[in-house]
Amino acid sequence: MPIGIVTNGLILRDLGGNMPKFKRFRPRGLPLRSLLILTGALMLITAFAPSAKADVIAYFNFEDATLGGPPDFTSESDQGLGIATTIVTNYTAGDMNTVSPGLANNRLVADTDPNNFSMHLFRSGMNDPADFDIPLFSPQGFFQNMTVSFGINVQGNGFDLVTLWYSIDGGVNFINSGNFASLLTGGAQTITLVVPTAANNQNLLVLRLEFTGGHSNGVNDQDIIDNILIGGTIVPEPTTIGGGLLGVLGLCWFQRRRLRLLLPRLRRA
């Protein structure tokens, strides 16, 4: 029997006895493969390494809604922008709705949805203080150097002030960040509030936008809000990097051991 033919009867039968010669396994292919695996694993780790550029942590464009219906509080992870999360509010459901068009203020260039809708708040006086809570739970990664920004178009009789609060216990207790912004009495503007560093790396983080100083109990246009963005840096947990490195070392060890086991056999063949 020629060297290199597999003698397993089942395989020979299945192939009608015409088993072609296997190429001899070249030992020099193994180190190359180890190198490729190592390179691939290192590239994977680099891809998850902390980066200095600003990431989209969560983004809300209010587009997954219907005109006149309830506001869309789901984040835009459906189009790959940030994590999946949903805004929770104490605002009376019947005192807010979806209006058209959307606001240009603070809209992400990467947002591929048509900008048809925004959130409309009315009866601001009856919903004061108005809280919009954004859970940013991060079991797989940490968020740092965050800002919260949004577009708002005040039509009069709306809220006076927006204040940023945060919770590091999943929304049980909220801490005033001390960062707030006055709202115009008319017209569109973009508001940006810095999240305190105490909120960095908190995996039960919730951010709260609290609107106060509501002036109206009517249903006239008051505050129209769109494009809420939580930007910052997404950093993987140290254990993710550590686990990746351990994986690479394990692969190298495994390949080296396989090589050492195979070499004597190949020499004998």
CB 82, min distance to Ca ion, A: 11
- Closer to Ca ion by Cβ: residue 102 or 171: 102
- Closer to Ca ion by Cβ: residue 120 or 208: 120
Tell me how many degrees the CA angle 238-243-246 measures, rounded to the nearest 5: 130
- Closer to Ca ion by Cβ: residue 79 or 179: 79
- Closer to Ca ion by Cβ: residue 76 or 223: 76
- Closer to Ca ion by Cβ: residue 49 or 104: 104
Residue of 115, 105, 179 lying closest to 146 (CA atoms): 179
Ordered DSSP codes for 44-60: HHHHHS--SSPEEEEEE
Contact between 102 and Ca ion by CB under 5 A: the answer reads yes
Tracing tokens 């994977």 back to the chain, one arrives at 44
Contact between 233 and Ca ion by CB under 5 A: the answer reads no
In contact, 128 and 160? CB cutoff 8 Å: no
CB 132, min distance to Ca ion, A: 14
CB 134, min distance to Ca ion, A: 13
Contact between 61 and Ca ion by CB under 5 A: the answer reads yes
Rounded CA separation 85/255 (Å): 42
CB 227, min distance to Ca ion, A: 6
- Closer to Ca ion by Cβ: residue 107 or 123: 107
Say which amino acid occupies 92: T
Contact between 74 and Ca ion by CB under 5 A: the answer reads yes
Contact between 127 and Ca ion by CB under 5 A: the answer reads no
For Ca ion, how many residues bind (rule: CB under 5 A)? 10
Tracing tokens 């919009």 back to the chain, one arrives at 132
Rounded CA separation 171/208 (Å): 9
Largest interatomic CA distance in the chain: 95
CB 19, min distance to Ca ion, A: 56
In contact, 131 and 210? CB cutoff 8 Å: yes
CB 76, min distance to Ca ion, A: 5
Contact between 62 and Ca ion by CB under 5 A: the answer reads yes
- Member of 38, 45, 55, 115 binding Ca ion (CB under 5 A): 115
Two structure tokens written together for 65 = 């809604």
In contact, 119 and 204? CB cutoff 8 Å: no
Binding stretches for Ca ion (CB under 5 A) = 61-62, 64, 72, 74, 76, 78, 102, 115, 226
